Amino acid sequence: QMQLVESGGGLAQPGDSLKLSCVASGGMPFKDYTMGWFRQTPGKEREFVAAVSWAAGETYYAEAVKGRFTVSRDNAKSTADLLMNSLKPEDTAVYYCAAGPRSTPDAGRYRYWGQGTQVTVSA
C-alpha cells in the first residue's frame, strides 16, 4: 500500500508561484507509477491537472494550466512536484497527488491518493 503526502499549499496572490510536493512511501517501487495531480473545489468533481509518466519522459497537462504549471518527479527521492506559476483565482482548490499504472486524466484510474493540500489564490 503506497502512502502519499502532499505539502506546499497555502495562500497566494494572483500572479504568484507556489510549489506543491508529494512524497511517496510503501507499496511497489515509486518509479513504476505514473504520478498525477488533480484538484477539487466544493460541489465539483475532481479535475485533472497534470501527470508525469514513470520514466519522467512524458508529461501531460490540462488546457487550463498548460504553460503555467510544470510537473516533475524524482524517482530517487520518491517525490513528485507541481510548480504553479502565474496563479489565478480560478486555481483555488484542494490539490491531490495520485499514483496510477499509466498516464490518464481519468481520476478513477489512479490507485493511491494523498490527503490533499489547499491552495487559495486571492488578492
For 16-75, the pLDDT digits (tens) are: 999 999 999 987 788 889 999 999 999 999 999 999 998 767 999 999 999 999 999 999
Q: Find where cell 497566494 sits.
A: 12
Q: Report whether pLDDT(120) > 70.
A: yes
- pLDDT reported for residue 77: 93
> Do strands 3-7 and 18-25 pair parallel, antiparallel, or not at all (unpaired)?
antiparallel
Q: CB–CB of 113/96 below 8 Å? A: yes
Q: Report whether pLDDT(101) > 90.
A: no
Q: Which three cell numbers stand for residue 97?
A: 497527488
User: What does the alpha-carbon distance between residue 42 and residue 33 come to, in Å, rounded to a whole number?
Assistant: 28
Q: CB–CB of 6/119 below 8 Å? A: no
